[in-house]
Amino acid sequence: MLDPSEILSGNILIVDDQEANVMLLEQMLRNAGYVNISTTQDPRTVCAAHAEHGYDLILLDLQMPEMDGFEVIEGLKEIEQGGYLPVLVITAQPGHKLRALKAGAKDFVSKPFDLIEVQTRIHNMLEVRLLYRRLADYNRQLEQTVLERTAELRASEARFQRFTELSSDWYWEQDAQGQLTRFSGPVSEMLGIGAEGEGEGGWNADERAELQENIASRTPFLDFIFTRTRADGSVQYLQVSGEPMFDTSSRFTGYRGIGMDITERMNWRPAVTPQG
């Protein structure tokens, strides 16, 4: 909700070629507590003034020489494209009311003025206009926040990806159907994902079957070690950790994990110092 002071601080422009009408409307608004009031008797200046000041409400007479109110409305629409046209028309012609509303004006008051009616319509229009502006500002802030959060998320993902690259030899992600969606290194061969029968053999069948069963059953695992025997008879040791992934609705979306070759570590033995 708006504070009453926000409405009374609305930026208002009175446009009428008759000085008496301008003075009457201005005095009425000031008596009601409005403080930001501008006036003009030259309709040709309205569009430029609105482009500069962005009025919250324009009280616009329709019947004026040189340029009538309908022409002013068309010019204002060029400035407020896609926005809220803050025009309250003033007319003594009943037939002009519907035409003005169709042209883009938001409301009208009739001459001669009913001051209570004029005050009520002005108050209501300013409230709508200011709420519209508040919503527009909120949407802009929300859009900016989304852009900032998206940038932060991408940076976080990049840091995570870099961390996994530094802390492991390979990394993988697969979707709910088991297809690899992102990976580094010979993941397909090492895990046997989508590459059955490809690459070098020698895998310990029981160990890799257990690993694949963990993945298939969506079971998280840490530092699982499995092996294969190379063609030269040496044993290669691989260590892998993985976890299932779920979306915000707790729906399974895939699997991810990291792995590394720990052969050197597994084959390392501390040197034995001879006893003298």
Count the domains in the chain.
2
126 and 183 housed in the same domain: no
pLDDT at position 31: 93
- Report the side by side order of strands in the sheet with 11-15: 36-40, 11-15, 57-61, 87-91, 107-110
15 domain residue, yes or no: yes
Q: Give the whole-number percent of the chain exceeding pLDDT 70.
A: 88
CATH number for 10: 3.40.50.2300
CATH number for 185: 3.30.450.20
221 and 126 housed in the same domain: no
Upstream peptide bond of 274 is cis (omega within 30 degrees of 0):
no
Q: Residue 170 pLDDT > 70, yes or no?
A: yes
Pairing state between β 87-91 and 57-61: parallel
135 domain residue, yes or no: no
> pTM of the full predicted structure?
0.54
Across 9-13, 136-140, 171-175, 200-204, the highest mean pLDDT is recorded for 9-13
Q: What is the average pLDDT across 114-134?
A: 88
Domain extent at residue 219: 168-267
Q: Residue 186 pLDDT > 80, yes or no?
A: no
- Are 11 and 36 in contact by the 8 Å Cβ rule? The answer is yes
Q: Residue 35 pLDDT > 90, yes or no?
A: yes
205 and 255 housed in the same domain: yes
pLDDT at position 209: 86
- Is pLDDT larger for residue 200 or for residue 51? 51
pLDDT at position 46: 94
